[in-house]
């Protein structure tokens, strides 16, 4: 057993600046020479990409890992935290939404507070203090006393207008001596990460010479005493998890990874490797052909609509992927990857040909078409398991299958439910041995999914 410093950065609500504060803290700690391990509460893909850049070591991003109290049970969450926290100096967990927000108005499932309690970590609360003085203390008091099992170790006030404003906030907080003010950060809208319809612009789209993370570190250090913050936090015990003896990959799986396809849970990739896969990355935007000797394909989500022209122009690779799917080898595609395997993507700029595996079109909308946690149960065998396989994930997209599509031409194998119960529309599209879905599954919710996909690849090799 070893000990590290670890804490959760939570917000009073979405938009209070917790991502900027988290990235600034991560970058500040990393440039002090500390090994910083980032984590993200909830199903988000974009923030973890920025975490990796902010915590980079030796010029290489440090993968950030998702923790989620609804998709994953307590044991899996603790295992992920211990697995990747081992060997680091500081672990920083960025929260999701407001501290107590999750899938329910009465329970803490899916919330930042739930993860803080599971891991026994102190919480640093970020408060947007615009237009507040004494009221800020009332707000913090409510959060500090709402759940006695959540340890709020301090507060950071964001968007503070002046030194006088900071003094008023600190004076008000003297009424709450058990919740120290760790810092006051001034308004600086220029350092915020640009956003678009699905959230922030991805880390993959940052300019190579961007100094955004350093500027965020400077901003945080202008209002926080980082060394005093670390000193005030308790040590956290880390229990290294059991690690099986690594084997040589028995099958090779191609993973689509570039600016268009960058939404992957890092734990999904680890579980595939642990099940016996060798993962080889390729770019559907830039590569003229698939890597050699692939036994399966995994095409994750991302922003294919933004790169529809480039994807459509890569005719040779599109044809090769179509042939690969037609060969019967296992393919798993989710959300953006599913869109790429359709016949076309229709955006405001026009219609663009895709791989043509599924005989329908993805049409972009102005508002999201689906949002929320999902549980799926397979109604038949497929690349991710036999009938009755149950896994959890999340769905968030602005595209939909064009309404005039004839979905009866393709088998669907998912029964799906959300927060309010069953969701009655087709999902889990199976064409041969290619499975496409709008749902991003977290394999940690059912490790058998990774094992089944690797076994399907192995079976395909043996049948040749």
DSSP result, 201-247:
PPGGGS-TT--HHHHHHHHHHHHB-HHHHHHHSPEEEE-PPP-PPP-
Same domain flag for 258 and 216: no
Same domain flag for 218 and 130: yes
pLDDT the model gives residue 366: 82
Q: Which of 217, 238, 259 is the last residue of a domain?
A: 238
Comparing 462 with 422, which gets the higher pLDDT? 422
Q: Order across the sheet with 399-401: list the strands.
A: 350-353, 342-347, 358-364, 399-401
Say yes or no to pLDDT of 198 above 60.
no
Least confident of 140-144, 228-232, 372-376, 387-391: 228-232
Percentage of the chain lying above the pLDDT 70 cut: 96
- Number of separate domains in the chain: 2
Name the band, by pLDDT with cuts 50, 70 and 90, for residue 120: very high
pLDDT tens digit sequence for 370-390: 889 999 999 999 999 999 999
88 is catalytic: no
> Is residue 245 assigned to a domain?
no
Say yes or no to pLDDT of 193 above 80.
no
Say yes or no to pLDDT of 245 above 90.
no
Name the band, by pLDDT with cuts 50, 70 and 90, for residue 188: confident
pLDDT the model gives residue 97: 96
> Is residue 246 assigned to a domain?
no
Domain that holds residue 229: 2-238
Same domain flag for 46 and 182: yes
pLDDT the model gives residue 199: 56
Question: Which residue blocks in 301-370 are alpha helix, DSSP H?
Answer: 308-313, 315-326, 336-340
Same domain flag for 388 and 313: yes
> Given phi > 0 = left and psi -120 to 50 = alpha, else beta, which region is 131?
left
Same domain flag for 130 and 178: yes
pLDDT the model gives residue 197: 54
- Give 45-49 contacts, CB < 8 A, sequence gap 24+: 45/262, 45/263, 45/264, 45/265, 45/301, 45/440, 46/198, 46/199, 46/200, 46/201, 46/202, 46/203, 46/263, 47/19, 47/22, 47/94, 47/199, 47/200, 48/266, 49/202, 49/203, 49/204, 49/262
**What is the CATH number for 351?**
3.40.50.880
Question: Is the C-alpha dihedral spanning 320, 326, 332, 334 positive or negative?
Answer: positive
Same domain flag for 32 and 165: yes
pLDDT the model gives residue 195: 60
Provide mean pLDDT across the span 208-212.
72
Q: Which of 238, 273, 294 is the last residue of a domain?
A: 238
pTM equals 0.94
Same domain flag for 270 and 324: yes
Classified as helix, coil or strand, 3 is: strand
Same domain flag for 310 and 383: yes
Q: Which of 203, 238, 273 is the last residue of a domain?
A: 238
> Is residue 402 assigned to a domain?
yes
Name the band, by pLDDT with cuts 50, 70 and 90, for residue 239: confident
User: Of 41, 184, 335, 446, which is the active-site residue?
Assistant: 335
Q: Write out the E strands in 86-203.
A: 90-98, 123-128, 152-160, 181-186, 195-196, 199-200
Name the band, by pLDDT with cuts 50, 70 and 90, for residue 108: very high
pLDDT the model gives residue 314: 98
> Is residue 435 assigned to a domain?
yes
**What is the CATH number for 38?**
3.40.50.300
Percentage of the chain lying above the pLDDT 90 cut: 84
Same domain flag for 168 and 265: no
pLDDT the model gives residue 412: 96
> Is residue 146 assigned to a domain?
yes
């Amino acid at each position: 057993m070893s000990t590290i410093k670890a804490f959760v950065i939570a917000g009073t609500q979405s938009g209070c600046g917790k991502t900027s504060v988290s990235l600034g803290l991560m970058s500040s700690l990393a440039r002090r020479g500390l090994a910083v391990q980032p984590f993200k509460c909830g199903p988000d893909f974009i923030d973890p990409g920025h975490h990796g850049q902010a915590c980079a070591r030796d010029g290489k991003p440090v993968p950030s890992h998702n923790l989620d109290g609804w998709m994953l049970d307590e044991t899996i969450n603790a295992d992920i935290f211990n697995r990747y926290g081992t060997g680091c100096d500081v672990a920083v967990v960025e929260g999701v939404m407001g501290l107590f927000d999750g899938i329910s108005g009465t329970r803490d499932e899916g919330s930042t507070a739930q993860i803080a309690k599971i891991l026994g970590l102190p919480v640093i609360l970020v408060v947007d203090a615009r237009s507040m003085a004494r009221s800020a203390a009332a707000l913090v008091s409510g959060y500090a006393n709402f759940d006695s099992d959540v340890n709020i170790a301090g507060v950071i006030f964001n968007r503070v207008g002046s030194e006088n404003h900071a003094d008023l906030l600190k004076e008000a907080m003297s009424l709450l001596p058990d919740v120290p003010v760790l810092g006051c950060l001034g308004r600086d809208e220029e350092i915020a990460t640009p956003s678009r319809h699905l959230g922030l612009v991805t880390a993959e789209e940052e300019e190579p010479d961007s100094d955004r993370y350093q500027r965020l570190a400077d901003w945080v250090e202008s209002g926080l005493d980082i060394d005093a913050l670390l000193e005030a936090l308790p040590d956290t015990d880390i229990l290294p998890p059991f690690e099986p003896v690594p084997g040589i990959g028995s099958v090779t799986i191609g993973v689509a990874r570039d600016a268009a396809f960058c939404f992957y849970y890092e734990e999904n990739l680890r579980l595939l490797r642990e099940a016996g896969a060798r993962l080889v990355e390729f770019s559907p935007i830039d590569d003229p052909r698939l890597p050699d000797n692939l036994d399966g394909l995994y095409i994750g989500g991302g922003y294919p609509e933004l790169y529809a022209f480039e994807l459509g122009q890569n005719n040779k690779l599109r044809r090769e992927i179509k042939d690969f799917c037609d060969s019967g080898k296992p393919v798993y595609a989710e959300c953006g990857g599913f869109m790429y395997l359709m016949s076309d993507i229709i955006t405001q700029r026009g219609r663009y040909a895709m791989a043509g595996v599924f005989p329908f079109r993805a049409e972009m909308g102005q508002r999201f078409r689906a949002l929320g946690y999902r549980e799926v149960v397979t109604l038949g065998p497929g690349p991710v398991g036999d009938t009755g396989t149950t896994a959890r994930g999340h769905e968030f997209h602005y595209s939909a299958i064009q309404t005039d599509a004839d979905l009866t031409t393709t088998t669907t194998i998912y029964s799906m439910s959300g927060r309010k119960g069953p969701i009655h529309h087709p999902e889990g599209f199976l064409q041969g041995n290619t499975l496409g879905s709008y749902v991003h599954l977290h394999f940690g919710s059912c490790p058998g999914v990774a094992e089944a996909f690797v076994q399907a690849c192995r079976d395909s090799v043996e049948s040749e």
